[in-house]
Amino acid sequence: MPLRTPRAILFDLDGTLADTAPDLAAAANFLRQERGLDDAPYAQLRPVASAGARGLIGAALGIHPDHEEYEALRVRFLDRYEANMSQHSRLFDGIPELLEQLEARQIAWGIVTNKAARFTDVLAPQIGLGHAACIVSGDTTPHSKPHPAPLLEAARRLQLAPEDCWYVGDDLRDIQAGRAASMPTIAAAWGYCGHSEPTGWDADALLHTPLQILTLLS
C-alpha cells in the first residue's frame, strides 16, 4: 500500500544521512594502535559503525560492556573520536539533492540519532546538516532508540502528529523505534545495516539509494 505523503521526514545520522564510519573506525583502530596491534580491516568495522562505541570496541578488540576494561576504553574512544570526527565523514551521495528537494516541496526534515549531543551538535553543521528543522540526539530524552521517545520528541518539536512523519534509518532499532512511534519507516540499505539483513526488518519500504525517497513521494 502506498505511503501517505509526509509533512516531515526524520533521518538517522550515522549510516543514513552521513558516511561517518571512516572517522569512527579510525577511533577504534587508535585503541588497537595503543596496544601495539595492527589496524582492524575497515570492512570489519564499517557494518557496526551505527552501534557507536559499543559496536566498534567490540569489533576492534572483542571487548564488550560487561568487561572490566570497557568503560575506560569507551571514554578513550569517544575522546579520540570527538577530536577527529569530521576528518573523513561526508554526506552520502544523493543526500544534498534529496534535502534540497524536500525543502522545495515544503516537507520538513530532521535528525534523530543515538549519537550524543556533544558530537551531533558539532558534527551536523560541519558536514552540511546544520539547517535541520530539528536535531534529537541520543541523550536528548531519557531513552534512546529503539525506544520511541526520541522520535516522538522530534514530532513534538515539529508540531506534527507522529503519523505525519516518516523515519529513515539503516539499523533494525531505527525501524523498531519508528514502528513504536506509529511512524511509517524506511530501511536505508545504502547504510551500515549491522550484521542483519534489512529485508527482515519489516520496514514499510526498503530503498537502496537516498534519491529513491523522491520516487516514494511521487
* Enzyme catalytic residues: 12
Question: How far does CA 168 lie from the centroid of its chain?
Answer: 9
Task: Tell me the C-alpha distance between 150 and 148, whole Å.
Answer: 6
Task: Tell me the pairing of strands 185-188 and 165-169.
Answer: parallel
User: Residues 14, 18, 23, 25: is their CA dihedral positive or negative?
Assistant: positive
Per DSSP, the three-state class of 8 is strand
**Residues 128, 100 contacting (CB under 8 angstroms):** no
Task: Tell me the C-alpha distance between 1 and 124, whole Å.
Answer: 34
